């Protein structure tokens, strides 16, 4: 997986590629997000909708972490 994190990406795959993003998912989606079976099939857009989180804010914070790993 390379490049920016997008709303279509599966939560569990993002956490695998960029482990630091787990903190962002915990912040906006709850502490059990990384252990939830749904994280293997649900995308960031769906998670944001289900947890009433602002998608653009979530993506911004996720991409800040992803860019630090690449940097």
The answer to whether position 3 is within a domain reads no
Residue 18 gets which letter from DSSP? -
Q: Dump pLDDT digits (tens) for 21-68.
A: 999 999 999 877 767 777 888 999 999 999 999 999 999 999 999 998
The answer to whether position 31 is within a domain reads yes
CA within 13 Å, CB half, 26: 10
pTM of the predicted model as reported, rounded to 2 decimal places:
0.87
The boundaries of the domain holding residue 26 are 11-70
The answer to whether position 23 is within a domain reads yes
Of 71, 70, 54, 69, the C-alpha closest to 20 is: 69
What is the tally of structural domains in the chain? 1
CATH at residue 63: 1.10.3910
Strand, coil or helix: what is 43?
strand
**Residue 35 CB neighbours (<10 A):** 9
């Amino acid at each position: 997986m390379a490049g920016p994190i997008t709303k279509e990406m599966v939560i569990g795959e993002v956490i695998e590629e960029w482990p630091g993003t787990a903190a962002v998912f915990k912040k906006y989606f709850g502490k059990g997000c990384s252990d939830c079976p749904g994280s293997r099939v649900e995308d960031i857009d769906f998670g944001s909708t289900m947890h009433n989180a602002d998608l653009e804010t979530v993506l911004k914070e996720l991409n800040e972490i992803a860019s630090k790993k690449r940097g």
